[in-house]
Amino acid sequence: MLIVEAIILSVIAASTPLLLAAAGELVVERSGVLNLGVEGMMIMGAACGFAGAYLSGSTFVGALCGIAAGVALAFVFAVLTLGLAVNQVAAGLALTILGTGLSGLIGAGFVGQKIVPAPHLYIPWLSDIPVAGKILFAQDGFVYFSVLLVVGIWWFLYRTRGGLILRAVGDSHTSAHALGYPVLKIRLLAVLFGGGCAGLAGAFLPLAYTPFFIPGMTAGRGWIALALVVFSSWLPGRLVAGAYLFGAVTILQLHAQALGLGIPSQLMTALPYLATVIVLVIISRARGSAGSVAPASLGTVFVPDR
């Protein structure tokens, strides 16, 4: 039971940054914008989050710094794609390259330093329940916030007028503009929200997952988060299942290596990304005949009538 508990806790920790980043990107894509710069915003969130926590001694300040870093990069992306109508794919890839290089510069002075990781919740009696206690009542704040974030996004998208407008903009920005809705403003807010979520996801890594910063510590998690949005068919509920599924694949390959099964370690390390590619191919083929469920205006540049 202790081994099972340890595996489940590891899966939750590995899934949390994926869920945070993918939840923000889901809102962005629902508005009709495709931001491929999630990886860059995450690594910037990791660097600035660790720097903020190390200098202030506060995990909360570090999380705010990570969010701010993600929002700042997202604003650059918004200026390029919404203000200057630059190709979204090219701008997103450039954002990842920028974030990777800039994070290395910012975090260079903090490599090798350590901080106290984010504290875990403790509720007397409840947290001491075997297995379920640590899983449900002894997590850090990032884990609980990630779940509440997805619930909040679901409520916003499907239970509020603002969510209906956001989805309308993503499905047909021309029609939304004709009805008088500020398409560019709505998309700007969505992009900034997605950037904040990606920055927080990156900050989780040095603040809670590992108490130190190393360059490139996101290790492709931003790309997995992008794949998760497609995997979930742009639905918040499926996003949770997908995030924990891919988190489980990441952790189980580590345990498979520890058991010495004779499988090359390079293959096991590539397993989460291989699973991502396979899932995307299967979903793409399944939708070939039934039509796509993606927002109709996804990735399409919008220029309002003069």
- Residues 276-298 pLDDT 10s: 777 767 666 655 544 557 899 99
- 114 - beta bridge partners? 212
pLDDT of residue 38: 97
Is 65 part of any domain?
yes
Q: Which residues of the chain have pLDDT under 50?
A: 289-290
Cβ–Cβ under 8 Å, residues 19 and 243: yes
Beta strands in the chain (DSSP E): none
Task: State the pLDDT at residue 2.
Answer: 80
pLDDT in tens, 144-158: 999 999 999 999 999
pLDDT number for residue 54? 96
pTM value is 0.92
| pLDDT, position 243 | 93
Task: Examine residue 231 and state whether it is found in any structural domain, yes or no.
Answer: no
CA-CA distances (angstroms) from residue 90 to 93, 94, 152, 240? 5, 6, 31, 29
Assess if residue 154 is contained within a domain: yes
Give the span between the Cα atoms of 79 and 48, in whole angstroms: 22
- At residue 120, φ and ψ (nearest 5 deg) are -100, 150
Domains held by the chain: number: 1
Q: Domain limits at 73?
A: 2-219
Per the domain annotation, does 204 fall within a domain? yes
Residue 290 has what pLDDT? 46
In a domain, 263, yes or no: no
Q: Is residue 229 part of a domain?
A: no
Judge whether 25 lies within some domain: yes
DSSP annotation of 294: S
Q: Is residue 122 part of a domain?
A: yes
Question: For 234-266, how does the pLDDT look when each residue is reduced to its tens digit (9 = 90+)?
Answer: 999 999 998 998 888 888 777 666 666 666 767
